[in-house]
């Protein structure tokens, strides 16, 4: 079974359509799956919308965190409360196309982690400025760590449950999207087989992005510097 992990905060305008799209793309191909939604007590009533639309759907499981906040910890919480042997991590703003989920899962048969990448052939972003900055940033990551992964900031990926939970999650799942950089670095060091498949990020259609570019840039850069030091000292395993 596959578990689709969805962290939400103020996504009432997207979440119902996204879950319906996941049902469409996975159900039509006969996948056995569940959808785990972890909402950080959104003031816009995201959780209420989920309950109203999917309260009778056993494939959709909603968890509302009353006090804790943050993307990385929400994803860890979702993983820990899931049942699937395959875990699919994704955003809830339609940057990550639900139509690509079946490919992520199918290719995982041959790899340890399959990544939806903007920077392999046929991948890309509708926001060209953000695309260029992200591409340059990823080049820097490849230079610093010597890995072959092109999109270290994706956050749209499938991984075996057994692989994820063999790691020290306390050292990985904190902060924001920088958790994915740490996950890939540890996986690369352990010799994981990694595949990138092309995905295309479209602009958000509804709601407002929670990502502040300058603050995120500083946070990611600081996380990378600490990670580089940890790798140099052999701490990240």
User: pLDDT digits over 136-176, tens only?
Assistant: 888 878 877 777 899 998 999 999 999 999 999 999 999 88
CA-CA distances (angstroms) from residue 211 to 93, 177, 217?
12, 10, 10
State pTM to two decimals: 0.87
The predicted-structure confidence for 178-233, as pLDDT tens digits, reads as follows 899 889 989 988 999 999 999 999 876 555 555 555 666 666 676 666 666 665 54
Measured over the CA atoms of residue 209, residue 16, residue 79 and residue 202, the dihedral's sign is negative
Mean pLDDT, range 101-126, rounded to an integer: 95
CATH class given for the domain over 2-233 = alpha beta
Cα angle 104, 83, 39 (rounded to 5 degrees) comes to 85
Half-sphere exposure of 60 (CA within 13 A, CB side): 22
pLDDT of residue 233: 42
Helix (H) or strand (E) holding 29: none
Token pair belonging to 191? 């010799």
- High-pLDDT (> 70) share of the chain, %: 86
């Amino acid at each position: 079974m596959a578990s689709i992990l969805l962290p939400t905060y103020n996504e009432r305008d997207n979440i119902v359509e996204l879950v319906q799209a996941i049902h469409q793309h996975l159900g039509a191909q006969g996948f056995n799956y569940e959808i785990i939604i972890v909402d950080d007590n959104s003031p816009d009533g995201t959780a209420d919308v989920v309950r109203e639309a999917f309260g009778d759907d056993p494939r959709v499981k909603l968890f509302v965190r009353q006090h804790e906040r943050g993307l990385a910890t929400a994803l860890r919480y979702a993983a820990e409360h899931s049942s699937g042997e395959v875990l699919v991590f994704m955003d809830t703003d339609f940057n990550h196309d639900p139509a690509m989920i079946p490919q992520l899962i199918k290719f995982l048969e041959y790899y340890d982690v399959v990544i939806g990448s903007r920077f392999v052939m046929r991948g890309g972003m509708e926001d060209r400025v953000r695309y260029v900055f992200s591409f340059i940033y990823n080049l820097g990551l490849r230079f610093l760590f010597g890995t072959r992964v092109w999109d270290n900031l994706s956050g749209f990926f499938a991984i075996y449950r057994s692989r994820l939970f063999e790691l020290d999650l306390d050292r990985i799942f904190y902060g924001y999207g920088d958790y994915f950089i740490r996950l890939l670095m540890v996986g690369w060091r352990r010799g994981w087989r990694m595949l990138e498949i092309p995905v295309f990020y479209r602009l958000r259609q509804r709601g407002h992005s929670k990502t502040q570019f300058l603050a995120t840039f500083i946070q990611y850069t600081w996380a990378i510097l600490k990670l580089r030091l940890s790798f140099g000292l052999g701490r990240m395993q």
